[in-house]
A and B are shown apart, each in its own frame.
Chain A
Amino acid sequence: MSTKQTIAVIGATGNMGSNIAKNLSRGNNRVLLFANDKDKVNAVVSEIKSNNASADVEAYECPRTASWEADVIILAVPYQAEKEITAKIKDVANTKIVISIANPLNETYSGLVTSPETSAAEELQKLLPNSKVVKAFNTTFAADFSIPVIDGKQVDAFIAGNDANALETVSALVTTVGFNPIVAGDLSVSRTLENMALLLISLTMKYNYNWLAGFKILHK
């Protein structure tokens, strides 16, 4: 048995947050959940435990305490909410891996609100200069977490970041969740990854993929 990793999921009641929490709690992880709606967080915890009684998962009432206890912090909140939440966790997130899953979409899902020379992940890194921000889980839909193999192919999940050890840790988490991890490059590659998510979302709406779709790099 190896040492458990403690992961805080901030925004654990959303579609993405709750699915990430469910899948991570199947691995050798202690998963701490926070969201503004206490009842909803407790419901997610109960659901995880009813499917897996030995899951080490707990609801937390304070994002700072959860992040203080965590080795890895997953920010599963909308891009617009990041500023407020990072102010609360900045000091306890010092040197820690913080995963940015947000896609900074505009209201009509027709474009990104960030300018082309930056990304949500890079903006998060500015807010948390002493943390190791890694982009992950932004090109995978919530439904993919239950069905990570679509049409016989395991969905690829792209990762971007500047710290080699952090990329390795996040790759292992992506594998635990069920996707095929691909390190795409440094944190600035998040611009491409966030635009890929925009493309996938717009194609899903246009061609009615039923929110079960993902990327797969075909190669020899």
Chain B
Amino acid sequence: MYEVFFQKFNEKVQLTAEEQDFVKQYLTPKKLRKKQYLLQEGDICKHLCLVEKGALKAYVLNETGEEHITAFALEGWTIGDLSSFIKQEPATLNIDALEDCELVLLSKPAHDELLQKIPKYETYFRILMTDAYMALQKRTAYMISLPLEERYKALTDMYPTLVQRVPQHMIASYMGLSPETLSRVRSRITNRK
């Protein structure tokens, strides 16, 4: 139930068996069915969520109700509306399940208590946030500087399983493109080969 969570934790900072048992007390195992919401815009994001199994997407809705995907999460990734979680203010993101999921949730009180009680959790969270920030920095830079073909290739190189598992119109939304534009980009890449 917590295998992936602890695998990811131990990659960043190694826990002893006792520490692992201690952390376990704070974790909430949760199944989420395909298409169900983990979070809806306007609610407080109560949990940070690590994916044990399945896939989710985070998105904002524009005025016409169209989805703009801001993030995906596959096995081993963490997802949540960070500002809403940290400040406990209404979320701007919606998060729902692309597949049936098994998740590990950490509530804000649990997160705060672990930060205080387990220095290794603080290290884990720091590395998690630093990694996320670096990825975001890279994504922003690519978004404003790279040609579309390069951007798509960078995405497929970085996350090969994502592109296979998620429908292309969602990848297009994530890249800020229409599905038609993404389709042209992909055929240009194929033709060049």
Binding site for B on A (CB under 8 A): 1-4, 30, 65, 68-69, 71, 91-92, 94-96, 130, 165
Contacts and interface: CB of A to CB of B under 8 A. Distances in A.
A94 B36 contact: no
A69 B30 contact: yes
A91 B2 CA distance: 11
A30 B37 CA distance: 11
B27 A94 contact: yes
Nearest to A130: B25
A130 B21 CA distance: 12
A4 B37 contact: yes
Given A3-B39, A3-B43, 19 more contacts: A2-B40, A3-B37, A3-B38, A3-B40, A4-B36, A30-B36, A69-B30, A71-B30, A91-B1, A91-B29, A92-B29, A94-B24, A95-B25, A95-B26, A95-B27, A95-B28, A95-B110, A96-B28, A130-B25
Contacts of A94: 24-25, 27-29
Contact of A2 (B27, B28, B30, B43): B43
Dominant SS among interface residues on chain A: loop
A165 B27 contact: no
Interface of B is mostly: mixed
Interface string B148-164: 00000000000000000
13 contacts: A68-B29, A68-B31, A69-B33, A71-B30, A91-B1, A94-B27, A94-B29, A95-B25, A95-B26, A95-B28, A96-B28, A130-B25, A165-B109
B107 interface: yes
A130 B2 CA distance: 16
A213 to B, nearest CB: 37
Q: Which of B27, B29, B109 has the most CB of A within 10 A?
A: B29
A69 B36 CA distance: 11
B114 interface: no
B107 A95 contact: yes
Contacts of B110: 95
A188 B43 CA distance: 32
A125 to B, nearest CB: 14
A30 B27 CA distance: 22
